[in-house]
Amino acid sequence: MSRHVTAGLDGSPQSAAAAEWAAREALLREVPLCLVHADEWPVWTADPEARADVQRRWADQLLAGATEQLRERHPHLEITTRRLSGRPPAALAAEAAEADLLVLGSRGLSCVKGFVLGSVGMETITATEAPVVLVRAPKPAGTDQDSPAGAPRDVVVGVDVHLSCDPLLEFAFDEAARRGARLRALHGWSLPPVVRDALALEEAELDMAPDIAHRLTEMLAPWKRKYPSVTVVERTPVGAPSQLLVQSADDADLVVVGRRGRRSRLGARIGPVAHAVIHHCASPVAVVAHH
C-alpha cells in the first residue's frame, strides 16, 4: 500500500483550509497528497442523469482548482485527485483506510455555541480506524496569535491514564517529532464526589495527585525512549478533560484525542471528551481510534 495523506473537499472554506493543512502534513511526512470529493445525488430528481453530470463537472473543477492552488504554494508536492461516488461517509472512510490519515474541514459557529463538525464528518470518524484530522477555516487577518517566526507551536494530547492508548500516544509523539515541537500530555481528573468539606478536598487532592502524576509518567516512559528528541510536558490538573483540552488548544499546533469503538442502538459513538473537543476546539484536532 502506497503511503499518502488524503483531504476531503466540498467547496467550503473549511475544506480548503483542510487541503492546505493536509498539503503541509504530506510534505512533513514526505508522501503524496490525494484530494477527494465525495457526493451522492438523490435519485428522485427530475433528471438524475443530467443532475449527476452537472455534479461531476463541478467536482472535477473543484479538484482541479484546488490542485492548481496547492501546486503554486507547494511546487514539490505530488498531488493526485479522485472523485468518489456513494454516500460520502462510507466513501471517505474507504479512502481513509488506504491513507496515513484523512483531513476534513470543520464548520464554525460562535464561540458560545461551539463548532459544528457536521453529520458527514462525524459518520466518517466512526466508520474508519484511520486517524482523522479536523481543520477549521483560518481566522480573519489580524486575529491570529501565532508563535514567533520559526518557533513551532506545541502538540497537545489528551491521555486517560486508566486505559491503554498506545496508538494515540504513537500518533502524538510522531507528530511532535516531525514538527520539532514540544508535546504537552494532559490528563484531567476529578475528586471523589462524596468529599464536600474544603479542607477534605484539599487533603484528597494532595493524597491522590502524586499517584495520578506517576501513572501518566509511567504511560509516557516507553514513548519518551522511542522519541528522545521530543520534549514532553506532563500535566495532571483537577478538572474536566474536555474543558482542559480546549483551553490548552489556544496556542497549540495540533490537539490529539482518542476515541474508542463504542456502539449503541443509536449508532457508533466517539466518547464525550472527543465529541466536546472536536466541536469546541479552534486548533486542528486529530481523532485517533484505540482499543
What value does the mean pLDDT take over residues 163-182? 95
pLDDT at 109: 39
Q: pLDDT-based confidence at 265, cuts 50/70/90?
A: very low
Question: What average pLDDT does the chain have?
Answer: 83
221: number of Cβ within 10 Å: 10
Q: Alpha-carbon torsion 113, 115, 118, 124, what sign?
A: negative
Q: Is residue 204 over pLDDT 70?
A: no
How would residue 202 be classed by pLDDT, with cut points 50, 70 and 90? low
How large is the greatest C-alpha to C-alpha distance in the chain, in angstroms?
A: 72
Please tell me the least confidently modeled range out of 63-67, 184-188, 237-241: 237-241
Among left, alpha and beta (phi > 0; psi -120 to 50; other), residue 101 is beta
Higher pLDDT, 241 or 147: 241
pLDDT confidence of residue 89: 86
**Mean pLDDT to the nearest integer, 125-146:** 74
Q: Residue 152's pLDDT is what?
A: 73
pLDDT given for residue 120 in this prediction:
73
**Looking at the whole model, is its pTM more than 0.75?**
yes
Q: What is the rounded distance in angstroms from the CA atom of residue 275 to the CA atom of residue 202?
A: 31
Poorest-confidence range of 146-150, 171-175, 192-196, 215-219?
Answer: 146-150
Residue 208 has pLDDT above 60, yes or no: yes
The whole-angstrom separation of Cα 93 and Cα 71 is 26
Between 268 and 25, residue with greater pLDDT:
25
Q: Which residues pair with 91 in a beta bridge?
A: none
Instruction: Considering only residues 239 and 149, tell me which one the structure prediction assigns the higher pLDDT.
Output: 239
Instruction: Note whether 105 and 14 are within 8 A (CB).
Output: yes
The x, y and z cell numbers of residue 212, run together, are: 495520578
Taking the CA atoms of residue 90, residue 92, residue 95 and residue 99 in that order, the dihedral angle to the nearest 10 degrees is -130
